[in-house]
Amino acid sequence: MKQVLHIIGGDVAGEKLKKSGVTGEVFVWHDVLYDGPRNPGWPDESTLNARSNFLEEMTGGGLGKQQILETLRMQYLKLETAGGCDKLVLWFDACLFDQSMLSHILACMKAKGINNAELICVDAFPGIEPFNGLGQLRPDQFASIFDRRQPVTFDQFCFAERVDRAFALQDYAEFVELANCRNAPLPFIPAAVARWLMEQPDKTTGLGRLEQLALEAIRFGYKHPAEIFKYVAAHDPPPQYWGDTTLWAKINKLATMRPALVRIEGPDPLLPQWIYPAGLESFSVYPL
């Protein structure tokens, strides 16, 4: 029996792929590869430790460092043995989150001499508007795009290595070149990198695009997290790379910077950046 491994970003998308009827094991990759400390390509132990510290901070302590470190070690071990599979299928969409993850995984595969991958990469699906990512698809819709897979080419592996290096080093000059790259071997990279450039601090306000949108919503009178989320989502064109916990982290930054730009009222001084059993209805955010 042939061994098939599917690698995808995002737990929601991964669960739906598992229910799609597509044959093979589904493995969900976890990390935020467009940001945070790391070296290009395959990570060493110091990089994994730095990533664990960063991701613990990103989740506001919702995920502990040791849990994150064990997850990272396990997924690179999984990738290292993926070359022995009869078929390796990568499922990604056009958003910044997925494109940075795809580039990193391909760069790591290239470092280990794994070249037997097939790629499914989509930026739209009929009837879904706006399309932000694979997580919006039903299981049967996942099955319907399985035949779109194409072998990853040598040029794509090499281009991914370049992109991964830019994200690892946060190389602004390289970001500008990639954002303006025509006929990119990975065609959704330029737009994804351009979106990341919008997150770099504005020279006047010091805020990135997501922070600016959140502050705009709060100043317009949207005080509850769900209202702020809805406003920001409506004003940030697809595909959107961020989720609720990312937005809460941005709002927390607005509340803790000096001088602070917003004030948070609720059972805790900051919005939870991970799962919060009591819900966020008791939190309110006000402009300063």
Give tens-digit pLDDT for 118-155.
Answer: 999 999 999 999 999 999 999 999 999 999 999 999 99
Inform me whether the pLDDT recorded for 279 exceeds 90: no
Query: Judging by DSSP bridges, how do beta strands 117-122 and 25-29 pair with one another?
Result: unpaired
Is 199 inside a domain boundary? no
Q: Is 13 exposed, middle or buried (0-12, 13-18, 19+ CB in 10 A)?
A: buried
User: Do 80 and 152 reside in the same domain of the chain?
Assistant: yes
User: Do 142 and 242 reside in the same domain of the chain?
Assistant: no
Q: What global pTM score does this model have?
A: 0.96
Range of the domain at 94: 4-171
Inform me whether the pLDDT recorded for 1 exceeds 70: no
User: Do 214 and 162 reside in the same domain of the chain?
Assistant: no
Angle at 198 between CA 219 and CA 133, to 5 degrees: 95
Q: What number is the average pLDDT over the span 70-97?
A: 96
User: Do 35 and 117 reside in the same domain of the chain?
Assistant: yes
Percent of the chain with pLDDT over 90: 96
Q: What number is the average pLDDT over the span 102-125?
A: 97
- Single residue among 121, 145, 171 that ends a domain in this structure: 171
Give tens-digit pLDDT for 202-238.
Answer: 999 999 999 999 999 999 999 999 999 999 999 999 9
CATH number for the domain spanning 91: value is 3.40.1360.10
User: Do 283 and 164 reside in the same domain of the chain?
Assistant: no
* Count of CB atoms situated within 10 Å of the CB of 141: 16
Looking at residue 127, its pLDDT comes to 97
User: Do 265 and 160 reside in the same domain of the chain?
Assistant: no
- Single residue among 171, 200, 220 that ends a domain in this structure: 171
What residues contact 244, with CB distance under 8 A and at least 6 apart?
A: 225, 229
**Cβ pair 23, 108 in contact under 8 A:** no
User: Do 33 and 106 reside in the same domain of the chain?
Assistant: yes
Looking at residue 105, its pLDDT comes to 98
Is 189 inside a domain boundary? no
User: Do 129 and 65 reside in the same domain of the chain?
Assistant: yes
* Number of domains composing the chain: 2
Is 54 inside a domain boundary? yes
Give tens-digit pLDDT for 8-30.
Answer: 999 999 999 999 999 999 999 99
Is 133 inside a domain boundary? yes
User: Do 46 and 117 reside in the same domain of the chain?
Assistant: yes
Looking at residue 35, its pLDDT comes to 97
CATH number for the domain spanning 271: value is 1.10.10
Give tens-digit pLDDT for 168-179.
Answer: 999 999 999 999
Cα–Cα distance, 153 to 8 (Å, whole number) = 19
Report the chain's mean pLDDT, rounded to a whole number.
96
User: Do 24 and 94 reside in the same domain of the chain?
Assistant: yes
Looking at residue 185, its pLDDT comes to 98
Cα–Cα distance, 89 to 86 (Å, whole number) = 10
User: Do 8 and 144 reside in the same domain of the chain?
Assistant: yes
Is 181 inside a domain boundary? no
Q: What number is the average pLDDT over the span 195-203?
A: 96
Is 150 inside a domain boundary? yes
Give tens-digit pLDDT for 147-169.
Answer: 999 999 999 999 999 999 999 99
**Cβ pair 112, 42 in contact under 8 A:** yes
Is 176 inside a domain boundary? no
One-character DSSP codes across 193-241: HHHHHHTSPPTTT---HHHHHHHHHHHTT--SHHHHHHHHHHHSPSSP-
User: Do 239 and 135 reside in the same domain of the chain?
Assistant: no
The token pair that represents 203 in the structure block: 């020279």
Angle at 27 between CA 273 and CA 14, to 5 degrees: 60
* Nearest 10 degrees: Cα torsion 20, 26, 30, 32: -60
